[in-house]
Amino acid sequence: MGRPTGFTEHGRKAAPYRDAVERVRDFNEIYTDHDFEQLTTQASRCMDCGVPFCQSPDLNPISARSGCPIHNLIPEWNDLVYSGQWRDALDRLHETNNFPEFTGRVCPAPCEGSCVLGITDPAVTIKNIEMAIIDHGYAKGWVIPITPPSRTGKKVAIIGSGPAGLAAAAQLNKVGHRVTVYERADRIGGLLMYGIPNMKLDKNEVVERRVDILRQEGIEFVINANMGDGEEGTRSVTETLAGVDALLLATGATVPRDLPIPGRKLDGVHFAMDFLTKNTKSLLDSNLEDGNYISAKDKDVIVIGGGDTGTDCLGTSMRHACKSLTNFELFPTPPTERAPNNPWPLWPEIFQVDYGHEEASAIFSKDPRIYSISTTEFVGNGNGSLNGLKTVEVALEDGQFNNVEGSEKIWDAELVFISMGFMGPEHYVSEPLGLELDERSNYKAQKGEYQTSAPKVFAAGDCRSGQSLIVRAINEGREAAREIDRFLSGATELP
């Protein structure tokens, strides 16, 4: 490494977010400008560790809880940043990651959880460095469209323009196949466009910028294309399949897990993704002036469920100027340090404060999270609208949740957002193709092969694996592109 003793001389100093009180007043990105001197110092902390667990993902398909799923060459570009070779660092980053501007912003960084330095000291700020490399590359004009030198004459259709679909499209186009990406929404990006709020991932400056490069490289994008042969579809998936040499399903896991308790149909109870999607669309269409979104302004808001989606509901509600904000978590409060059954290099399941928690704490002077609590009923006002909910405290004993006697409580709530994860993909796309499903209702296809039960049809990303991280979707899109290229050409040079 450029400075073998850097980790002994400098402590971890992560790039700060914008001031919480200030940033809740807008939907601009929460990040501050890059401090290149500090980043150089932080890059020097990367150890010559011998075995870089940061870039070595856990290949166990059940756990998959450590390391970088796309095998980012992290020690190499850390060393290049320390040496001031930013252009070379960008090239090394693009070797494994088609979209570092996405992962550098929204990936939870399992690489940092597996950093060897993290055994004894705070990990290297890998995510900050990654984001700075790609942002600096754009600023310098180094990120440009690269068209393939020739075309193979093969056609590939991709349904879904999220991270898996876009990664696959980029890779297949690179080797000369003609790629068309179909998206049912009115903008390209899938989860990247409408599932993640603008303050975490700017749509015009970041997402659209990369999509425009892909378009210039020769990829065709078709919006408002809801694929399926039934009533839900606006374009025939079987006819599309007949006109191409291969079809990739990258539709994501879009069926939300519901909470079917009394009062579920009351006005004011919404799925989290409905809230987030409508807000971002209205923001992009009219800067929220059209009113076509679910407003949390001056309302008592409760978010049921945590994770990134729950946090995004907190952040969006804060920007609407909600009256109060509470976040229910079924599980107990996480420990402040790793538990014995959560050793390095697994992802550290510890108490952490994300941007939404920080913002709620800054405005309401308390963390919004309530742990070990279960919602038992949504309460109406007699006119079909929500005005509260009932809960009970729970205790986790031997893997089972048991209600705590006498802990029932009623909470004021005019808006509730259900953020309890996703069950799998919608099937009106797959049913006309006769695809076999796995036990979790995902499209059945072997990891590393991605071939479904239907000829010429492949599947990748959350629709195949279940709900997961954007970085894992990129990994699956890249690997699926490799297998599709092998299927079309008989051999492949794609990684």
HSE toward the beta carbon, residue 52, CA cutoff 13 A: 19
* pLDDT tens digits along 176-216: 999 999 999 999 999 999 999 999 999 999 999 999 999 99
273 lies in the same domain as 177: no
Task: Please report, for the domain that includes residue 362, its CATH number.
Answer: 3.50.50.60
Per the domain annotation, does 494 fall within a domain? no
Which of 108, 139, 170 corresponds to the end of one domain? Answer: 139
Final residue in a domain of this structure, among 114, 139, 164: 139
Q: 240-253, pLDDT tens digit by residue?
A: 999 999 999 999 99
Mean pLDDT of 74-88: 96
For 144-158, write each residue's pLDDT tens digit: 999 999 999 999 999
CATH code of the domain covering residue 86:
1.10.1060.10
DSSP 102-162: HHHHH---HHHHT-GGGGTSPPP-HHHHHHHHHHHHHHTT-------SS--S-EEEEE--S
Final residue before a domain boundary, out of 106, 139, 172: 139
Q: Look-up: residue for tokens 């570092």?
A: 100
The overall pTM is greater than 0.85: yes
On whether both 427 and 413 belong to a single domain, the answer is: no
Number of neighbours of residue 185 by Cβ within 10 angstroms: 16
Q: Are residues 339 and 441 in the same domain?
A: no
Does 463 lie in the same domain as 342?
no
Same domain? For 264 and 412 the reply is yes
192 and 274 both lie in a single domain: no
Q: Which region among 50-59, 366-375, 395-404 has the lowest average model confidence (pLDDT)?
A: 50-59
List the domain range (segments joined by +) for residue 366: 258-420
> Confidence class of residue 60 from pLDDT cuts 50, 70 and 90?
low
Task: Verify that 72 and 118 share a domain, yes or no.
Answer: yes
In a shared domain, residues 291 and 334: yes
Whether residues 412 and 428 share a domain: the answer is: no
Distances (CA, A) of 397 to 127, 331, 343, 400, 404: 36, 11, 22, 5, 11
Tell me if 145 is assigned to some domain. Answer: no
Q: How many domains does the chain have?
A: 3
Residues 476 and 352 in one domain: no
pLDDT band at 62 (very low <50, low <70, confident <90, very high): very low
Check if the beta carbon of residue 53 is closer than 8 Å to that of residue 345. yes
Inter-residue contact 333 to 308 (CB < 8 Å): no
- 373 and 269, same structural domain? yes
Over residues 416-441, the pLDDT tens digits come to: 999 999 999 999 999 999 999 999 99
Same domain, 309 and 356: yes
**Burial profile 355-383: b = 16 or more Cβ within 10 angstroms, e = fewer:** bbbbbbeebeeeebbbbbbbbebbbbeee
Q: Is 144 among the domain residues? A: no
